[in-house]
Amino acid sequence: MISAERILQRCDALARHSELPGGLTRVFLSPENRAANEAVLGWMREAGMAARLDAIGNVVGRYEGERPGLPCLMLGSHLDTVRDAGRYDGMLGVISAIECVDALNAQKKRLPFAIEVVGFGDEEGVRFGTTMLGSRAVAGTLDPSVLETRDSSGTTIAQALRAFGLAPEKLPEVRKEKRDVLAYAELHIEQGPVLEAEGLPVGVVTAINGFSRLRVTLSGVAGHAGTVPMHLRHDALVAAAECIGAVEKNARSSSELVATVGRIEASPGAINVIPGKVVFTVDVRAPRDALRLSCVERVKRDIESIAGKREIQFEIEDLQQLGVAPCADWLMAQLDRAVSAEGIKVRRLPSGAGHDGMALRSLADIAMLFVRCKGGISHNPAESITAEDAGAGARVLFRFMEKFHGLSA
């Protein structure tokens, strides 16, 4: 039987594995990540799954179907968090999927396909700046050169994997074959206010908006804050402030666009020194790829012109981009039926946030179920859901899983 209380208790238990006392920050391949993995591996085994860590650090549980080795319906979400995170973003999807398999196992029921539950190791991309390492590896689209990406202390992904006890040279073994995965379905908190406004516990996702991520470096001239007159300065931070304004202006040009400068570092970082160097990130998202790409181009042109006017060097790196990921009609129809069977009105909605399905859709068709969250708040410690909604989400996922048929007909 699905237990909403157990789902929430497990989210609470995972939230204790954090680098911040009294908050939640758990980045990829950290000691906290290891502890969370151990807990999830244990819950998977209790639910009757064979569970292991793969070579990129995903936790993978497999519940065989009517006979061993059948293709799987893949369920899951991610186990890493942003800094000062909420406790449901990602974790709710993994724990709810385990709860569904546990309910199946309690009935000693086997389906005509296997279930694989995956807790992806990195979806947020907080540590290395590049996202969805786990799901890209499963889809076979993670170029091994990405393993040379460094975190802020200079450690590469390959080094971090080794220090975690994993073998980066085994990356190709993480890749799944299309014939082995019938579909990927993810339950996730909505992270927005639509379901709450409409009084609905769950919603069926139609598509995931695409994103582009940039890293911008502005190099001016550091100098004495007391001696250099204003008109002779090449202050990289003032230039960055103008660039941030340009990012906002471009994003405001369409109600469908959003853009964020979420991280900025100024050096040398002293009260009495003109900032000589600034590095900041830009994240642009939209439900249409052409709209997003044209916004990115305008942002780049504006940065070039601001840097030129201020006689400052600039570099813009394209960190990552993923296009809009539509959910498959045949899977949405099956989710709709599961929602209706729970007596809930079917509401379809797009996802503004990114999810592992964006990477997995080159492997298999994808579907997502959103669960209402309080005030639409996410990426924030105030993230909150009710036990009723957690239960409704998991029951819908259970029905979907039990009745799933792998043919699009």
Interface contacts to ligand GLV, rule CB under 6 A? 124, 353-354
Q: Which is nearer to ligand GLV, 6 or 127 (CB)?
A: 127
Q: Which is nearer to ligand GLV, 124 or 389 (CB)?
A: 124
Kindly state the smallest distance separating residue 320's Cβ from ligand GLV, in Å.
11
By CB under 5 A, name the one of 61, 76, 86, 90 that touches Mn ion.
Answer: 90
342, two tokens: 């729970």
In three-state form (DSSP H/G/I as H, E/B as E, the rest C), the secondary structure along the chain is CCCHHHHHHHHHHHHCCCCCCCCCCCCCCCHHHHHHHHHHHHHHHHCCCEEEECCCCCEEEEECCCCCCCCEEEEEEECCCCCCCCCCCCHHHHHHHHHHHHHHHHCCCCCCCEEEEEEECCCCCCCCCCCCHHHHHHHCCCCHHHHHCECCCCCEHHHHHHHCCCCHHHHHHHCCCHHHEEEEEEEEECCCCHHHHHCCCEEEEEEECEEEEEEEEEECCCEECCCCCHHHCCCHHHHHHHHHHHHHHHHCCCCCCEEECCCEEEECCCCCEECCEEEEEEEEEECCHHHHHHHHHHHHHHHHHHHHHCCCEEEEEEEEEECCEECCHHHHHHHHHHHHHCCCCCCEEEECCCCCHHHHCCCCCEEEEEECCHHHCCCCCCCCCCHHHHHHHHHHHHHHHHHCCCCCC
Q: Which is nearer to Mn ion, 48 or 134 (CB)?
A: 134
Task: Choose from Mn ion, ligand GLV, none: what does 102 bind? Cβ within 5-8 Å by kind.
Answer: none
Q: Which is nearer to Mn ion, 90 or 134 (CB)?
A: 90
Name the residue whose CB lies closest to ligand GLV.
354
Contacting range for Mn ion; rule: CB under 5 A; set: 83-91, 100-108, 161-169, 394-402: 83-91
Q: Which is nearer to ligand GLV, 130 or 254 (CB)?
A: 130
Kindly state the smallest distance separating residue 378's Cβ from ligand GLV, in Å.
8
Q: Which is nearer to ligand GLV, 276 or 354 (CB)?
A: 354
Look at strands 277-286 and 258-260 and give their pairing: antiparallel
Kindly state the smallest distance separating residue 292's Cβ from ligand GLV, in Å.
14
Kindly state the smallest distance separating residue 123's Cβ from Mn ion, in Å.
6
What phi-psi label fits residue 22: left (phi over 0), alpha (psi between -120 and 50 degrees) or beta? left
What's the CA gap between 372 and 391, in Å, rounded? Answer: 11
For residue 18, the one-letter residue type is S
Contacting range for Mn ion; rule: CB under 5 A; set: 63-71, 81-89, 195-203, 209-217: 81-89
Contacting range for Mn ion; rule: CB under 5 A; set: 52-60, 84-92, 125-133, 265-273: 84-92
379, two tokens: 């990426």
Using CB under 5 A as the binding rule, the residues of this chain from 369 to 388 that contact Mn ion are none
Kindly state the smallest distance separating residue 146's Cβ from ligand GLV, in Å.
17
Kindly state the smallest distance separating residue 262's Cβ from ligand GLV, in Å.
9
Task: Choose from Mn ion, ligand GLV, none: what does 354 bind? Cβ within 5-8 Å by kind.
Answer: ligand GLV
Kindly state the smallest distance separating residue 124's Cβ from ligand GLV, in Å.
6
Residue 89 found at the interface with Mn ion (CB under 5 A): yes
Kindly state the smallest distance separating residue 215's Cβ from ligand GLV, in Å.
15
Q: Which is nearer to ligand GLV, 124 or 190 (CB)?
A: 124
Q: Which is nearer to ligand GLV, 207 or 238 (CB)?
A: 207
Kindly state the smallest distance separating residue 144's Cβ from Mn ion, in Å.
25
What's the CA gap between 114 and 116, in Å, rounded? Answer: 7
Contacting range for Mn ion; rule: CB under 5 A; set: 86-94, 241-249, 310-318, 332-340: 86-94
Q: Which is nearer to ligand GLV, 37 or 212 (CB)?
A: 212
Whether 366 and 327 have beta carbons less than 8 Å apart is answered as yes
The residue ranges that bind Mn ion (CB under 5 A) are: 89-90
